[in-house]
Amino acid sequence: MARKTRIAVIGGGIGGCTAAHALLQKGFDVHVYEAQPELKEIGAGVALGPNAMKAMRALGLEQAVRDVAYQGDYQYLLSWKSGRVISKNARADAERRYGAAGCSVHRADLLDVLSSGLPKEILSLGARGAEVDTHGNVAWAKFKDGTEIEADAVIGADGIHSAVRASLFGADAPKFTGKICYRSVIPVDAVPGGPPAHNGTWLGPHGAIVIYLVRRGELINVVAHHDDDTYKHESWITECDRQEPIERYGQWHESLKRLFSASQIWYKWALYDRDPIPQWTKGRVTVLGDAAHPMLPYLGQGACQAMEDGCVLAMALEAMPDDVPGALQLYERSRRPRASQVVLEARARGVDNHLVSPLAALKRDATIWLRQRISPDRGGRGLTWIPSYDPGSRSVLVI
């Protein structure tokens, strides 16, 4: 009996756990190495588009995710001060157009679904990756504590500050965007007068606010973007004074002011942009998720693209079981052009969301409204090629 191909996944976040599920499903010998002492995520929400839910469907996890998520009937685009509805998209339309509807989920709940389905014996915690390489017919990885391992392939799923990516290609050169984010998670019952009537994105001068429900509708996830070139700290876990976002968005819609007043803890981080890297793979080592294509959050595609990566990686290895380096090249060939384009589109959307000129914003809003009515299947803001993608279909492999 032939030995199973051994795959070491460095990083036990959303991308790493998705890849582990996909690889186990295809019969590979998988081991996941996570830097933290436990598998856990920060207290924030994540929007999963139709493409991500098709990935979960391919892994048999779609219903488990939906059971802990929230699914609204509509997704709204709104004007910052008046609350005017610029556009709305129906969940039923997404089912028809893309084959699945999206949902919103707490990151911790999503990781619980992903990690609870993995055999405990394939997980090593407190293992922070440091170096990787290919030695002949094996991939090699070294961890911060000096431990070394060998496998047939090493997959770097170790996030935006990836040690695997740095080991392969050198340190990246992120550029500060002049934009920052605030985030908070607020219990629905804590909002005086009740939460805003609509979930979605509010577009205003110098910024945008994204709100959606998570944890079956019990919590409201808030991500507020703003132009600010004075704060340059890139960390999701740095708290700020709760009055700062309240004052910064003090002129926005009344329902948003009520929502912000109910938050007890706000986090603040600076947004850095990175150009798509020209190569993901060397020998028997490759990267996925934020390690491969860190992107700005304006399309809500960071986690979605990582899930796509995991599914396609497993299909590529299954398609070329006797040629692991060739399979990793197939994976990169199939994924890098799409993910790189999403990176660039997210960058462009950030500019479009923050328009300062009232005339430019009115033109943008009118164009979205018109597109949605003339050609609803193309979407008011286009980019329907993103949710249309099915990462569980072998047709996405670029043979």
Q: What is the pLDDT of residue 378?
A: 66
- pLDDT over threshold 90, residue 236: no
**CA of 243: how far to CAs of 45, 230, 254, 263, in Å?**
22, 18, 16, 10
pLDDT tens for each residue of 179-223: 999 999 999 999 999 899 899 999 999 999 999 999 999 999 999
Please state the rounded mean pLDDT for residues 283-294: 97
CA distances from 381 to 102, 148, 364 (A): 17, 48, 9
Is pLDDT at 377 greater than 80 in this prediction?
A: no
Closest CA relative to residue 7, chosen from 28, 26, 25: 28
Sign of the dihedral through C-alpha 299, 302, 308, 309: positive
Strand partners for 132: 141
Q: Rounded to 5 degrees, what angle do the CA atoms 25, 28, 30 make?
A: 100
Average pLDDT over the chain, rounded to whole? Answer: 95
Q: For residue range 79-130, what is the model confidence (pLDDT) as tens digits?
A: 999 999 999 988 889 999 999 999 999 999 999 999 999 999 999 999 999 9
Q: Is 146 left (phi over 0), alpha (psi -120 to 50) or beta?
A: left
Q: Catalytic pick from 212, 249, 331, 389?
A: 212
Which string of DSSP letters, residue by residue, matches 179-232?
EEEEEEEEEGGGSTT-S-S--EEEEETTEEEEEEEEGGGTEEEEEEEEE-SS--
Mean pLDDT value across residues 324-348:
98
- Between CA 255 and CA 302, with CA 241 as vertex, the angle to 5 degrees is 70
Give me the domains of the chain, ranges plus CATH numbers.
6-173+275-391 (3.50.50.60)
What pLDDT is recorded for position 2?
67
> Is 298 in the active site?
no
